[in-house]
Structure 1
Amino acid sequence: MQLPAGWVWSRLEEISEVRLGRQRSPKNHSGDQMRPYLRAANVDWNGLKLGDVKEMNFTDAELETYRLLPGDIVLSEASGSAGEVGKPAIWDNQIPDCCFQNTLIRVRATTEVEPRYLLHLLRHEATRGAFAKGARGVGIHHLGAAKLAAWRIPVAPLAEQRRIVESLESHLSRLDAGRTDLTAARAKSQRLTSVLYGRAMSGGFSRPVSADEAVTESALRRASSSLATRRWQPVAPVSIPGYTPPENWTTVSLGTLSHSSGYGTSTKCDYKAQGYPVLRIPNVQGGSIDLSDVKNAVDPDLDLTKFSLDFGDLLFVRTNGSPSLIGRVGVVEKPLPYAFASYLIRFRLTPGFVEPRWIQLVTQSPDWRRAIERYAASSAGQYNLSAETLSRLPVPVPPLEVQRETLAAVDTAVSGAVRLVSAIDTAITRSRHLRIAVANHAFSGRLVPQDPTDEPASVLLDRIRAERESQDGKAKRTSRRPRKAAEAVPPPAPASTPSPATAVQQELPL
C-alpha cells in the first residue's frame, strides 16, 4: 500500500515500548506486596472488564517495570480462538498501581504518537485477522512480543493522527450503537427459541402418551448392541436438575441410543490441499452441516473414509473458547464423502427409536444447555466435552410419531425467530465489514484530508530516534560512572590529614 505524502512506514517498536507481562507462578500468590494485575480475561472487544481483577505479589522494582500508565495499550497475547489473538484495549488508570500478566502484551506509545491512533490501528489488525496468521501453538494461538514489536504500521503526522481518531471514533460510535440494537434483538429471538424448546421438552407441543405406546428400553438396547461393530454396553444417564419428563416418555442416555461414537481425525488440513475434505467446528451451524467453508487433508494419500458421514449422524462440537458453543450439534441430512476433525464427536443413532433432529432439540433446550456448560471442563481458556460425558446425557424419548409432531410444531413456532436471527446475523456481518472498510480508509489516509502544513511523520520518527539515542548514551555513561569513580579514588590519606573535598569530584563527568 502506498502511503500519502507526509506518512511513513515504521516498526511498532520504533514508536513505542512493547513488553510482555510478568509470569504468574504459585510463589506469587501471597506476600506483603500484593498488587492488582490484568490478564487476558479482562480484555474485551468493547474495552476492559474490571469486575474480576486478581492480585499477586510484585516487588517495588517489578511494579516499576509492569505498572500500567494512562494511555498504555494491552493486547491479548494468546487465545484458544485465533480470532481473539491481539485483541486490544486502552488503560485509563482505573485502578492505582495496576500491573499486567504475561497473557498480555503492553504497548506504550512515545509522546510523539497519539495512543488512541495506535489503539484503533491495532484493533483493526486484530479485527481483520492479521495477528491470527501464523499464530500457532498446541491448542493455543500465540502472538508473541517480538512479532508484535516488529509489526509494520503506517504512521501519519501527529496532527493528522488526532484528526483520524476524532473522525474514526465518530463513525465507529454509530456502528456500535447499531450493533448493540441488533445484538439485543438477536438475544430476544434466541430466548424465545429457547423457551419454545423448553416447552417442547415438557410436552407442551404434543399429545399425551399411553403406557402401551412407551418406548421399550430393553428393545432399544438389543437393537443398539446388534448394530455395534465393537463391544457395546448401555450407558446410565445422568439427571438434569429440575426436569421431569412427561408421563410415559422413556428416558435413556445418548450412549444407549447410539450404536457407535468417536472422535474425528487430527490430520493437518488446508484450503489449498488436495486430500480428503474434512469438516471442522465452523461447519456445524444452525443444527445442520454447512459445506461453504471446507478444508482438505494436506496428505492426498491419506485414507479417511472411516470418518465419512452417513444420513442421521450427529456431530457435536467438543471444544471451544466459548461455553455457549460447547455441545452445539449438527445433523447430517444425507451421506457425505467428508471426514470430520478431532474437535468434533460423531454419534450414530440406532434407527427406529429416535429422530436425529429430536436429539438436536433436546440438547439445545434450556435445562440441557445449563447441564452441558456445567459439565464442560475448562483448560487454558478452552472448554471441553468428552465422548463419555456426552454419552451420559439423558434423552427423553416419546414414540416416533410424537417426536415428529413435536418437531413440526416447534419448527412452525420458531420459524419467525429463526428468520429474524438469520437477518440479524447478516446485518452484524455487514456491520463488521463496514467497520473494517472505515478503518482501511483511516489508515491509508483516505478518511480525513491531509494538511500540507502538518509536520511530516518522517521528522517525527527522526526526533524519536534522536531522543532514544540520547537516552541510550546517557544510560551507557551512567553505567560506566561507578567504574571510573572507583579507578580515580586515590589511596586513603593519613588519618591526621583531611582529604581534599574535590579529589574525587574532579575525575567524575559532570
Structure 2
Amino acid sequence: PAGWAWVRLDHVCDVSGGIQKQGKRRPVKNKFPFLRVANVGRGSLALGDVHQVELFEGELDRFRLQVGDLLVVEGNGSPDQIGRAAMWRGAIKDAVHQNHLIKVRPTSAIDPQFLELLWNSPNISAQLMRVAQSSSGLYTLSTSKLNRVEFALPPLAEQQRIVEALEEQLSRLDAAAASAAQALRRVGRLKTASLASELVGVSQRARLKDVLASPLINGRSVKTMEGGFPVLRLTAIKEGITDLGEFKAGAWSAEDARPFVVTKGDFLIARGNGSLKLVGKGGLVGEVRSPVAFPDTMIRVRPDVGAVLPQYLSLVWGSPEVRKQIESRARTTAGIYKVNQRMLEAIEFPLPSIERQQEIVDRQESNESALKVARTACRNALRRGDSLKRALLRKAFEGGVVPQDSFDTSAADLLVRVVAERAAQPKAKRTRRTTAKKAAVPRAATPADPAPQPTP
C-alpha cells in the first residue's frame, strides 16, 4: 500500500541475546528477576514462576528489559512454536532474560504492540519456520536470522490504527476460543472422572518396571533418506494411541532397524517435548500392517500381558496421578523437557486383576465413542477460530483492515529518522555478541512488490 515500505527487522529494531545461566550465576548478592523460555507464550507472559540470576558490574544496564521489548523464543522441539514471542510490559522491576530468549527492541519507527501482533502472525511464522535449523529435534533461531526477517512496514499512525482494529476483533475470537477450550476441558474431565471411579477401591499398585516383558529401550536417531526403512515421527503419539501412518523414510536398512520395529501391544512414550504437558505422553501400537521402527525421541514399553493389559496401561498412563509423577520428574534443557528410562520405571499406578482390567477397558472404550463426538466438535470450533484469526492477521499486515491516510508520515520517512537517531547515538563498546548492523534505508513498497523472500 501507499506509504508502506519493505524492511528487514534490523532496519527498525535492535536485536540482542541474553544471559547464559552458569554456576557463577547462582543468585547470592546481586540477584535479579530472570525470564526463561517457560515464561514466554505466544502473545502472553507467564510470570508465576520467575527465577533469579546473579549479575555483575554493568550487566543490569546492558540486559535490563524495557517496556516494549519483544522476547522471542530461540528454540523449541515443536516447529509451530518456533519464534513465539511476547511483549514486555514492565510487570517486574529490573528483569533480565536468558540466552535462549532473543530480545527485540523497537525503534521509533515501529509501535511495540504492532510488532508483537505482526511477529505472532502467519506472515512472520512462515519465514521463521523456513530458516530455523533442526538439531536433534530442536529447531533453533539466532539473532542474525531474526535480523534478516522481512515485512511490510506501514506508517506509524496506521500501525496504531491496525492495533486498535485487531484488538477489537481478536478479543471476540479469543472469547469464542475460550468457550470451545472450556468445553473440551469438560470432556477431558468426564473421561478422567470415569476412569477414577473405576479405580476406587483398587489397593494393589505396581511400578512400570514390575510389569515389563522386556527392558525399556530408546529408539535410534536416523536421517531422512528416500526409499529407506520407515521410522515414526514424534507426532505419531496421539491421545493414547500411536498413528503408524506418521513416519518418514530413514537412512537405514531393514536389518539395522530390526531391533526397533514395533509390534502390536507396544507402548511408545515421548522422551522429550517443549511442553511439560506433552513430555512422557504415551501411545499404544495397534495392528501393524507394514513394518515401521521407532526413533530416538521415543522409549518403547513392552508390557507383560500376564500382569497388565496394554490397553489398560494406555488408559492409566494418561491419568492425573501418572501425569503428576512424570511432570515432577522431567528435567529441562534448552527449553526441552525430557524423561529417561530410570524415571519411567519408577512410575506407580493402580493395578487390579487382569479380569478387572478387561472390564475397565471395555467400559472405557464404550464411553469413548460418545466422548469422541463431543471432542471432535470442540476441536473443529477451535480450528475454525484459529483459521479466522490467521486470516485476519494476514489481511491486516497486507493493508486490508484499516484505510490508508495520505497525511500519515510515510514509513520511508520514519526510516530516515531512525538512521539519523542511530547515527547520533554514542558508539557502543564492542562485545562478543554482535548486535544489529546499521542498514541502509530500504526502498518504498509499491503494489507490484513481490512478497519478501528471506535469505536462509
TM-score by length of 2: 0.83
Question: What is residue 264 of structure 1 aligned with on the other side?
Answer: 219
1:58 aligns with 2:12: no
Correspondences of 1:177-192 after superposition (within 5 Å): 177-192=175-190
Structure 1 contact 375–385 (Cα < 8 Å) conserved: yes
Supply the distance in 1 between the matched residues of 2:127 and 2:45 (Cα, whole angstroms): 22
Tell which has more relative contact order, 1 or 2 (C-alpha 8 A, sep 6+): 2
Cα deviations by residue, 1:171-225 (Å, 9 ceiling, x for unpaired): 211111112222222222212211211222236xxxxxxxxxxxxxxxxxxxxxx
Question: What is residue 356 of structure 2 aligned with on the other side?
Answer: 402
Query: Given residue 316 of structure 2, which amino acid in structure 1 is its aligned partner?
Result: V
1:281 aligns with 2:240: no
Tell me how far 1:38 sits from its aligned partner.
Answer: 2.4
1:114 aligns with 2:69: no
Supply the distance in 1 between the matched residues of 2:4 and 2:280 (Cα, whole angstroms): 49
Supply the distance in 1 between the matched residues of 2:93 and 2:306 (Cα, whole angstroms): 65
Tell me how far 1:27 sits from its aligned partner.
Answer: 2.6
* Alignment CA distance shift 1:362-1:38 (3 Å): closer
**Match among 4, 11, 19 for residue 22 of structure 1:** 19
Correspondences of 1:143-154 after superposition (within 5 Å): 143-154=141-152
Supply the distance in 2 between the matched residues of 1:112 and 1:158 (Cα, whole angstroms): 7
Question: What is residue 197 of structure 1 aligned with on the other side?
Answer: 195
Tell me how far 1:125 sits from its aligned partner.
Answer: 5.2
1:168 aligns with 2:161: no
Question: What is residue 274 of structure 2 aligned with on the other side?
Answer: 321
> In percent, how many aligned pairs have the same letter?
34
Supply the distance in 2 between the matched residues of 1:341 and 1:419 (Cα, whole angstroms): 32
Question: What is residue 419 of structure 2 aligned with on the other side?
Answer: 465
Question: What is residue 92 of structure 2 aligned with on the other side?
Answer: 95
* Alignment CA distance shift 1:299-1:129 (3 Å): farther
Question: What is residue 262 of structure 2 aligned with on the other side?
Answer: 309
Point out where structure 2 has 5 or more consecutive residues left out of the alignment: 429-456
Correspondences of 1:377-456 after superposition (within 5 Å): 377-394=331-348, 397-456=351-410
Structure 2 contact 73–84 (Cα < 8 Å) conserved: yes
* Alignment CA distance shift 1:62-1:352 (3 Å): closer
Tell me how far 1:268 sits from its aligned partner.
Answer: 1.6
Tell me how far 1:42 sits from its aligned partner.
Answer: 2.0
Query: Given residue 7 of structure 1, which amino acid in structure 2 is its aligned partner?
Result: W
Supply the distance in 2 between the matched residues of 1:285 and 1:5 (Cα, whole angstroms): 47
Tell me how far 1:360 sits from its aligned partner.
Answer: 0.8
Tell me how far 1:390 sits from its aligned partner.
Answer: 3.2
1:158 aligns with 2:156: yes
Query: Given residue 418 of structure 2, which amino acid in structure 1 is its aligned partner?
Result: I
Correspondences of 1:1-12 after superposition (within 5 Å): 4-12=1-9
* Count of residues paired in the alignment: 426
Question: What is residue 494 of structure 1 aligned with on the other side?
Answer: none
* Alignment CA distance shift 1:415-1:23 (3 Å): same
Supply the distance in 2 between the matched residues of 1:126 and 1:88 (Cα, whole angstroms): 14
Tell me how far 1:267 sits from its aligned partner.
Answer: 0.3
Structure 2 contact 83–125 (Cα < 8 Å) conserved: no
Cα deviations by residue, 1:415-437 (Å, 9 ceiling, x for unpaired): 43333223222322332222222
Point out where structure 1 has 5 or more consecutive residues left out of the alignment: 204-242, 477-510
Tell me how far 1:120 sits from its aligned partner.
Answer: 0.9
Supply the distance in 2 between the matched residues of 1:475 and 1:325 (Cα, whole angstroms): 46
**Match among 203, 217, 231 for residue 244 of structure 1:** 203
Query: Given residue 328 of structure 2, which amino acid in structure 1 is its aligned partner?
Result: R
TM-score by length of 1: 0.75
Cα deviations by residue, 1:71-118 (Å, 9 ceiling, x for unpaired): 221212233444333221112222233333322222111112211111
Question: What is residue 497 of structure 1 aligned with on the other side?
Answer: none
The more displaced of 142-151 and 445-454 is 445-454
Supply the distance in 1 between the matched residues of 2:208 and 2:101 (Cα, whole angstroms): 43
Question: What is residue 449 of structure 2 aligned with on the other side?
Answer: none
Supply the distance in 1 between the matched residues of 2:257 and 2:27 (Cα, whole angstroms): 52
Supply the distance in 2 between the matched residues of 1:351 and 1:30 (Cα, whole angstroms): 50
* Alignment CA distance shift 1:277-1:447 (3 Å): farther
* Alignment CA distance shift 1:244-1:145 (3 Å): same
Supply the distance in 1 between the matched residues of 2:229 and 2:174 (Cα, whole angstroms): 41
* Alignment CA distance shift 1:184-1:268 (3 Å): same
Tell me how far 1:154 sits from its aligned partner.
Answer: 1.4
Question: What is residue 105 of structure 1 aligned with on the other side?
Answer: 102
Structure 1 contact 83–126 (Cα < 8 Å) conserved: no
Supply the distance in 2 between the matched residues of 1:304 and 1:278 (Cα, whole angstroms): 8
Based on CA coordinates, which of the two structures has the bigger radius of gyration?
Answer: 1
* Alignment CA distance shift 1:129-1:153 (3 Å): closer
Cα deviations by residue, 1:30-49 (Å, 9 ceiling, x for unpaired): 46543333222221224122
Tell me how far 1:252 sits from its aligned partner.
Answer: 7.0
Supply the distance in 2 between the matched residues of 1:386 and 1:57 (Cα, whole angstroms): 31
* Alignment CA distance shift 1:256-1:467 (3 Å): closer
Structure 2 contact 229–257 (Cα < 8 Å) conserved: yes
Cα deviations by residue, 1:6-54 (Å, 9 ceiling, x for unpaired): 2221111111111112333333334654333322222122412222333
Query: 2:228 is paired with a residue of what secondary structure?
Result: coil
Structure 2 contact 240–318 (Cα < 8 Å) conserved: no
Tell me how far 1:274 sits from its aligned partner.
Answer: 3.1
Supply the distance in 1 between the matched residues of 2:245 and 2:386 (Cα, whole angstroms): 20
Supply the distance in 1 between the matched residues of 2:125 and 2:190 (Cα, whole angstroms): 32
The more displaced of 377-386 and 277-286 is 377-386
**Match among 140, 143, 161 for residue 142 of structure 1:** 140
Question: What is residue 220 of structure 1 aligned with on the other side?
Answer: none
Structure 1 contact 87–126 (Cα < 8 Å) conserved: no
Question: What is residue 68 of structure 2 aligned with on the other side?
Answer: 71
Query: 1:159 is paired with a residue of what secondary structure?
Result: helix
Tell me how far 1:295 sits from its aligned partner.
Answer: 2.2
Query: Given residue 320 of structure 1, which amino acid in structure 2 is its aligned partner?
Result: N
* Alignment CA distance shift 1:322-1:32 (3 Å): closer
* Alignment CA distance shift 1:156-1:408 (3 Å): same
